[in-house]
Structure 1
């Protein structure tokens, strides 16, 4: 059995057309390395799974893993890891398309920079913008006093997503749509936190990479198109799921005082959105309930 350089891992959920296009782009653009593609089907409907299976099952590099329940982003990817044998893991959303030999570019970068545990490429949208490629971890000073004050007092001068970086750069958090890991680092920090069902997984795992004394980088030479919102339909429940995850992130990484100051600031923010946003009142009622994890979409899933 040949050694695998890179394991691509992606999740399909009732969006086989997108997944097929991603796989086609991987095969077309990826050269000069051995790779495998692991597609985790997160309990799609029968018609979508049949389309996925009939289109991809005959491709040697592709391994389709059928999940009997929609276990969300983190758990779905961790299921894929169980079937991965690469030296590097390339977690990529199924609504992405590789625009160049991204995996080789990122692999070469990590091999030359052993201090780096995680990297992303230039994640482009329909307008050629790449603001989603990287961002900052939620900072209390920024929340209370604004970005300029936070950057003034912060020891770590990480760029915000408003700055368009043109060269390899350290960043605090990378896009969850495109995460290229050293598999050893990924394993040692415990992989994705499966308590997150959707959202905030990238903030959490990037924080843990930094805490592990490894660095996170943006590598603009690697280019990936991301159809923003292409795999998730917007709704009240999806918006509420974000805040459920956000609360878990705060509880996990902040002190008692810090997380509660964050929550007070969010309470005030959502109060003033009651009549301005479509789901404003319903979201405000959800924060009154403390964005309880029992309201998570995780508990609406059915084992098939």
Structure 2
């Protein structure tokens, strides 16, 4: 039993070679879903032997992943990973071993090691208020552990369960789609497992090439998606608070001529304002013809 990997690329030519080489070394068949890259991402993926699905427009992280998982016919498990994730030797096998050891697992994730040597583990999630760790005290696991949240940077999922749940929420373009998926999996009674012996290196921020306006767009989606998932699960809407905090900072940045602040705080304020007005993330990205 070998998982099929799904890698979503968008101007990811710099990161893809190492990611795909590691998957080939682990003998993991790979599907690259390309979100309208303007660089050599598609050529690199094909040269590496991956099956490539070319989207004519950028569909966002979750929507593209769901498309790839649907295409992974015959696989019992799918391994979804960012192009800046590099599996270490034995990682795929360790994840599969864990899936047999913990048959109630709906999602499993490797130990994701950051560039500074620390490994990622999030002790709480916005969408898991039922867990008793309100302060988010960080106690790093020393072995396999149940977790309230697993990062979408690298997830192995039971393919049937993932598709039965409808995949990632299609209304989210970027951010919090992994929190939402973790919540829905947990709500089925299946567990989320951190697999300590499976290791992946994370080149944080290398998934896509830098581009003008990227910070504003990123912050817009972070703010909008946080408001969206909060409303979805009946949590307090953070939109007004985000707007109140970020709008004055954006204005001050504009007054003093600090472009980075305008992009950062202006993006967050604009995303919160859009959520308050009922505008959708898909409409912003011209993916919703109805303009919701």
TM-score per shorter chain, which class?
A: 0.7 to 0.9
Partner of 2:219: 239
Judged with a 3 Å threshold, the aligned counterparts in structure 2 of structure 1 residues 53 and 297 are, in CA distance, closer, same or farther, namely same
Structure 2 alignment gaps of length 5 or more: 254-259, 288-292
Which residue does 2:198 correspond to in 1?
A: 222
2:72 matched to 1:72? no
Which residue of the partner structure matches residue 81 of structure 1?
69
Instruction: State whether structure 2 residue 152 is matched by structure 1 residue 164.
Output: no
Cα distance 1:139–1:9, how it changes in 2: closer, same or farther (>3 A)?
closer
Query: CA separation in 2, counterparts of 1:110 and 1:50?
Result: 31
Superposition CA RMSD, Å: 2.7
Q: Is the 8 A contact 1:7 1:37 kept in 2?
A: yes
Shift of 1:74: 0.8
**CA positional deviation for 1:287:** 2.9
TM-score (norm 2): 0.83
Check 1:297–1:186 CA distance in 2 against 1; reply closer, same or farther (3 A cut): closer
1:259 corresponds to: 236
String of CA shifts for 1:4-54, please: whole Å, max 9, x gaps.
Answer: 6201001111112311210101122x26xxx42011111112x42453255
Q: How many residues align?
A: 273
Whole-Å Cα distance in 1 between the matches of residues 56 and 144 of structure 2?
Answer: 40
TM-score normalised over the length of structure 1: 0.80
Q: Report deviation, 1:288.
A: 3.8
Q: Which residue of 1 aligns with 2:113?
A: 124
Give unmatched runs, 5+ long, in structure 1. Answer: 142-153
CA contact (8 A) 1:74 1:193 kept: yes
Distance 1:9 1:185, change over 3 A: same
Which residue of the partner structure matches residue 246 of structure 2? 270
Higher mean alpha-carbon deviation, 118-127 vs 157-166, is at: 157-166
Alignment partner for residue 86 of structure 2, among 97, 106, 123? Answer: 97
Per-residue Cα deviation, 1:194-233 (whole angstroms, up to 9, x for no partner): 1110110110000001101101011111100111111244
Shift of the 139–177 alpha-carbon distance from structure 1 to 2, 3 Å rule, reads closer
